[in-house]
Amino acid sequence: MDLQKLKNEDKLILCRKYYLAGFFLLPFLWLVNAIWFFKEAFRKPHYAEQSEIRTYVTRSIIGSAIWLAAIITWVIIFQLNRVSWGATGDLLTFVIPLGEA
Amino acid sequence: MATSRKKDLFLQFIKVFITCFCLFANSNKVSCVGTDRTEHKMYIELATQSACFRNFNATHQVGCTSSENGNVGTVHYIQSIKDMEWVLNSGPHSPYVVVLKAANFTRDTVITLAQSSRVNGIMVINVHNSTHNPLPSDGFSSVDQCPNDRFGLYADDTNYNKCQKQIWNKVGTSLRFVDLKIPVFALSDIKDVDAVLNKCYFPFNNPINDTARDYPLCSAEVKARMDGAVNSVVCMRRTLRTTLSLSGPQQYCDPMGDFNVITFMQKIPSSSSRQASSVIMVATKLDSVAMFQNEYNAADTTVVGVVTLLAAAQALWKQKEELIQPHAKDIVFAFFQGETFDYIGSSRAVYDIQKGIFPQEYSSEDKNSVSKLNLTHIDQFVELNQVGLRDNSSLWAHVDPISQPNVEKKIEDMTKFIKTFGEQLNISIKSAASKLPLPPASAQRFLMARKDLPVVVLTDHEAEFTNKYYNSRFDTADKLGGFDYPEDANDTVKYNYITKQALLIANLSSTLARYLYNASTGKIPTAAVLPNLTADPLMVTRLLYCFLISPNCELFYESVDSDNAQSLKDAKQPFPFYVSVTSHTNEVTQLVYSLMARFTGTLIDSNKNDCKQDGNYKLFSFTWMQGALKNNSNDRQGWCYKAIVHYTKAVSPAFEIDEYDLTSGDYSSWTEARWGSKAIGIRLFLMPSPEFQASILAVGILMLILSLVIVYICQKNSSAIFSVHSVRTSRSYSPMT
């Protein structure tokens, strides 16, 4: 969808939808929202709906940053402890490496 | 204008360049059609597949593996102590792949090399002659000094455990049970050895006056990548886990095991039950092990015992009529598989007996299976271990010192009669010192389940093993001795030539047959029955030839189904005695089964399709084999043997019992790692200097950048280069137009 062709109020609706949907454990929607609407929120000359869009975009950025941090932390913990967790570690693993612990 | 002229010239140049490149690419393609692939010009592939591979028990991984794409190292041939120092410390071109002579392949050397970060792999020369590559003179055994101790009768006995009375296998290196972490191969093909030494090491790597050679150096890529890791607990858990995968579950390892071959003399259906002490059990083991895949010689370790039992069965069954009388005791011939790996076969047999499903699983309505056997039915247990390399031409009867006082009289009788019948055939059998425990034997698992079982184990050693190559690749017919074939004898002559060793074994078989006759009927064999109770030395020599020298022999051809005949033809060396994994039935097991069917069964008139069990009538087995050649024809007669020979599972109960804790140590927990179809192999190549490699890489990167630039320019000026009229008008490139 080309944002250029959208009316400002439709932009706001779209941005809000993405923002709200992100709460259903869908951090990628926040990431997409943040990137997609970044220009609209911060670069475009002022228009009526911009401040609200800016709020959603800022929150999306914060949300996806938290998610990213959480995922990185988990991946590090998991990779460091997969072997010592034994059976649990295997259960949590999708592809177990061949020939290694 | 000067600039546009210049530009035109440049474009002309590019046109020429592209044309040239296309031509070159084309001509290259032509040469690609030929057989000389670049890969073949770069590498010498070795034929060897004799890799050390990985096994697991409940707590450890043992054996070898390489990195995913193979371990690479500079080839270095260890000829002296100086070379060891070179490889471990001073040599400038580490990592090394080391080539060892058989005599240097000792526990200390191998472990030192494997632990060094400067060594990436080991190849051991396995082509032997007395001057260049003699066998290790002190002996070599790939297994422990006290084999199977932790799973045997004396595991928890403070007087006898850990071989404290007698270390049976003094030359045991345990190398088969060490986690070496690097790939180790045997080079058994003279061409491989020639390639490694004469095409690779000596021309390129051999230091001159103790100075290292310059690049290029000959390197080896040694690959034996194993899929499983850690131990049986982990890799079985991973193998058995349920996954959502289109390609099926990933397998990491398989339980080891196969089948025991069990033969009964008497036809006792499940509708009638056996009496106490009414069954005589005779047993031996069917397997061995060594360091390398395919290199499992087992002349004294296994084959001699198996052949003795087979020949004894053939003799005994000639006197069948007397032995199937109701007052005679039943005789069971048991060949146990997987004994080398903590008594897989015998521990399973005992487990099945205790569950009441031995030798067959049947429901209460089944009246026509083999009547079940339980431990109290067993009157006595005679086992043959190694019996080939006789200590001062004597065999030794071993008994268990713990249970002996309970059954002293019985055991005395047993040894007395065995000795007597042996003497008649010039075989001296002596009693081993009474302080000694039983050597490693299947009987131990039976004694663990029934303490008052009368057991005699016959072996060729009183104290330590007379076999210096127990469970190793050196345990060959040569080492066993007595294979006195005439010089230049061809295969047919050898097959039919009765060797000294065959005579010795035939005598032992006769001894056993006569003893069993006596034990079963209580009668001393009369002159009339003695010829029947005499093993056929020709059959013994043939069995030895087929098992030890070449399976490509008439006896085996007769005894297999036509579907398996090709595998005999293809076999380049004796069939492996390694038990392997459960999913694959060992050739040796199948052959022993067929041979027992032949020796103990009756030939019935049947064709291949009808040669099978009739519904629930499971007492007899029916074995189809292609039989002898018809007169003047290449066709074979086709034989169907009806016999009381049965396979019973030789898979450790550890893998059958639900929720069994593998680490409990009750049953064998051995598994074997899986590996991919191309996971094993060695190839040699010339390694250029690091500077040369770096410059090649730099040129490659430059070429890439240059080609990007050229493509960019070409695209910018595509309309000028390619004179396509429709494009010329638009002047700019767009994929959509």
Domain borders along chain A are 3-92
* pLDDT band with cut points at 50, 70 and 90 for residue B1: very low
Higher pLDDT, A59 or B40: A59
Nearest residue on chain A to B54, judged by CA atoms? A99
Do residues B211 and B323 share a domain? no
Verify that B444 and B345 share a domain, yes or no.
yes
Compute how many other C-beta atoms are within 10 angstroms of the C-beta atom of residue B240.
Answer: 11
User: B234: which chain A residues are within 8 Å (Cβ-Cβ)?
Assistant: 86, 90, 101
Contacts of A99 in chain B (CB under 8 A): 65, 68, 225-229, 673
Distance from CA of A67 to the nearest CA of B (A): 27
Whether residues B360 and B421 fall in one domain: yes
For residue B32, give both structure tokens.
């690609």
The two structure tokens encoding residue B383 = 């086992």
Question: What is the spatial distance between Cα A56 and Cα A54, in angstroms, rounded to a whole number?
Answer: 5
Query: Could you tell me the sign of the dihedral formed by the alpha carbons of B271, B272, B273, B278, in that order?
Result: negative
Provide the Cα torsion B725, B728, B730, B736; round to 10°: 70
Type of residue found at B276: A
Amino acid at position A53, single letter: I
> Is B68 in Cβ contact with A96 (below 8 Å)?
no
Tell me, yes or no, whether B209 and B239 share the same domain: yes
* Chain A contacts in chain B segment 207-266 (CB below 8 A): 225-230, 234, 237-238, 241, 250, 252
Tokens read off for B13: 């140049």
- Shared domain for B218 and B262, answered yes or no, is no
Contacts of A100 in chain B (CB under 8 A): 229
Q: Do A90 and B237 touch (CB under 8 A)?
A: yes
* Structure confidence at residue B591 (pLDDT): 95
Give helix B690-716 / helix B2-33 axis angle, nearest 10°. Answer: 120
Residue B280, strand partner residues:
B331, B380
Distance from CA of B228 to the nearest CA of A (A): 5
pTM for the full model?
0.88
- Structure confidence at residue B407 (pLDDT): 92
Residue B160 domain-assigned (yes or no): no
Contacts of residue A96 in chain B, CB cutoff 8 Å? 238, 250, 252
Q: Which are the contacts of B364, defined by CB distance < 8 A and separation ≥ 6?
A: none
Domain, as residue range, for B25: 2-40+700-721
Alpha-carbon dihedral of residues B272, B277, B279, B285, nearest 10 degrees? 130
Distances (CA, A) of B502 to B128, B372, B468, B498, B621: 25, 36, 21, 6, 30
B226: nearest CB among A86, A90, A99: A99
CA-nearest residue of chain A to B679?
A99
Q: In sequence order, which ranges of A1-101 are alpha helices (DSSP H)?
A: 8-21, 27-36, 38, 50-81, 87-91
Please give the DSSP secondary-structure letter assigned to residue B68: T
Q: What is the pLDDT of residue B10?
A: 63
Residue among A87, A91, A100 minimizing CB distance to B229: A100
Q: What is the mean pLDDT of residues B224-253?
A: 87
Per-residue tokens: B335 = 């060949």
How many Å apart are CA A101 and CA B21, to the nearest integer? 49
B499 falls within a domain = no
**pLDDT one-digit tens code per residue, B337-349:** 999 999 999 999 9
Give B424 to chain A, closest Cα distance, Å: 58
Amino acid at B272: S
The H or E element containing residue B478 is helix B477-480
Choose among B65, B227, B241: nearest Cβ to A90.
B241
Q: Is the pLDDT of residue B235 over 50?
A: yes
Q: Which positions in chain B touch A98 (Cβ < 8 Å)?
A: 68, 225, 227, 229, 250, 252
DSSP B198: I
pLDDT, one tens digit per residue, over B456-471 is 999 999 999 999 999 9
- Scanning A19-48 for CB atoms below 8 A from B yields none
CB atoms A99 and B227 under 8 Å: yes
Identity of the residue numbered B295: E
Q: Check residue B37 and give its pLDDT.
A: 78
Same domain, B346 and B438: yes
> How far apart are alpha carbons B143 and B475 in whole angstroms?
13
Give every CB contact of residue A78 below 8 A, 6+ residues apart in sequence: A92
State how far the alpha carbon of B206 is from the alpha carbons of A39, B103, B192, B210, B249, in Å: 68, 20, 18, 9, 48
Q: Are residues B180 and B321 in the same domain?
A: no
Pairwise CA distance, residues B200 & B204, whole Å = 6
Give the tokens for residue B425.
Answer: 């055939």
| pLDDT of residue B306 exceeding 90 | yes
Q: Rounded distance, CA B460 to CA B391, Å?
A: 6
Q: Are residues B277 and B242 in the same domain?
A: no
CB contact under 8 A, A96 and B250: yes
R_g of chain A, CA atoms, integer Å: 19
> Do B228 and B333 sit in the same domain of this protein?
no
Q: Please, which pLDDT band fits residue B361 given cuts at 50, 70 and 90? A: confident
Residues above pLDDT 90, as percent of chain A: 58
CA distance A59 to A19: 8
Closest residue to A90, CB basis, from B226, B238, B673: B238
By the 10 Å C-beta count (0-12 exposed, 13-18 middle, 19+ buried), B670 is classed as: buried
Are B237 and A87 in contact (CB < 8 Å)?
yes
pLDDT at residue B725 greater than cutoff 80: no
* H-only helix segments in B86-217: 107-115, 190-194
CB atoms within 10 A of CB B180: 22
Residues B260 and B226 grouped into a single domain: no
Q: Which residue has the tokens 């085996």?
A: B556
Q: Locate B628 and state its tokens.
A: 């002898």
pLDDT at B179 over 90: yes
Does residue B32 carry a pLDDT above 50?
no
Instruction: Give the chain B residue whose CA is nearest to the CA of A94.
Output: B243
CB-based contacts of B212, cutoff 8 Å, min separation 6: B91, B92, B93
CB atoms within 10 A of CB B138: 10
Q: Which residue of A has its CA nearest to B227?
A: A99
Contacts of A90 in chain B (CB under 8 A): 234, 237-238, 241
Q: How far apart are CA B679 and CA B475, in angstroms?
A: 28
CATH assignment of the domain containing B364: 3.40.630
Contact B175, B113 (CB under 8 A): no
Instruction: Compute the average pLDDT of residues B417-440.
Output: 94
Pair B395, B463 in one domain:
yes
Count how many pairs of residues, chain A against chain B, have C-beta atoms within 8 Å: 28
Asked if A2 is an interface residue toward chain B (Cβ–Cβ < 8 A), one would say: no
3-state secondary structure of B688: coil
CA dist., res. B179 & res. B111, Å (int): 10
In chain A, which residues have their Cβ closer than 8 Å to the Cβ of B227? 98-99
Among B337, B354, B322, B323, smallest CA distance to B283 is for B337
* Number of residues written out for chain A: 101
> Does position B34 have pLDDT exceeding 90, yes or no?
no
**Å between B43 CA and nearest CA of chain A:** 26
B342 lies in the same domain as B234: no
Is pLDDT above 90 for A34? Answer: yes
Collapsing DSSP to helix, strand or coil, B137 comes out as coil
User: CA angle B170-B175-B178, nearest 5°?
Assistant: 130
Asked whether residue B560 is domain-assigned, the answer is: no
Pairing mode of beta strands B330-336, B279-285: parallel
A84 interface with B at CB cutoff 8 Å: no
How high is the pLDDT of residue B33? 45
Return the H-helix or E-strand segment holding B124.
strand B119-125
The CA R_g of chain B, rounded to the nearest whole Å, is: 32
For B301, the token pair is 């370790």
Please state, in angstroms and rounded to a whole number, the distance separating the CA atoms of residues B576 and B189.
17
**Residue B734 scores a pLDDT above 70:** no
A91 near B CB under 8 A: yes
A99·B225 Cβ contact <8 A: yes
Overall domain count for chain B: 3
Q: Which two tokens stand for residue B617?
A: 């009538």
Reported residue count of chain B is 737
How distant is the Cα of A96 from the closest Cα of chain B, in angstroms?
8
The residue that leads in pLDDT, A48 or B352, is: B352
Residue B111: name the closest of B180, B63, B32, B18 by CA: B180
pLDDT exceeds 70 at position A78: yes
Identity (one letter) of the amino acid at B90?
A: S
Angle (nearest 5°) at CA B459 between B458 and B464: 140
Q: Using alpha carbons, select from B413, B380, B415 the residue that is nearest to residue B396.
A: B415
**CA-CA distances (angstroms) from residue B240 to A91, B76, B255, B315?**
12, 42, 12, 47
The dihedrals phi and psi of B330, each to the nearest 5 degrees, come to -70, 150
How big is the CA angle at B683 (ends B218 and B692), to the nearest 5 degrees?
40
User: What's the pLDDT band for B728 if we cut at 50, 70, 90?
Assistant: very low
Residue B682 scores a pLDDT above 50: yes
Q: What percent of chain B has pLDDT over 90?
A: 76
A52-65 average pLDDT score:
94
Residue B415 has pLDDT above 50, yes or no: yes
Residue pointed to by tokens 């800022």: A58
Nearest CA in chain A to B249: A95
Average pLDDT of chain B to the nearest whole number: 90
- Residue B29's pLDDT is 45
The secondary structure of B414-460 as a DSSP string is: HHHHHHHHHHHTT-EEEEPPTT--PPS-THHHHHHH-TT--EEEEES
Dihedral angle at the C-alpha atoms of B515, B517, B521, B523, nearest 10 degrees? -70
CB contact under 8 A, B227 and A91: no
| Chain B CB within 8 Å of residue A98 CB | yes
What percent of chain B has a predicted confidence (pLDDT) above 70? 93
Cross-chain Cβ contact A91/B241 below 8 Å: yes
Res. B727: pLDDT tops 70: no
Closest chain B residue to the Cα of A100, Cα to Cα: B229
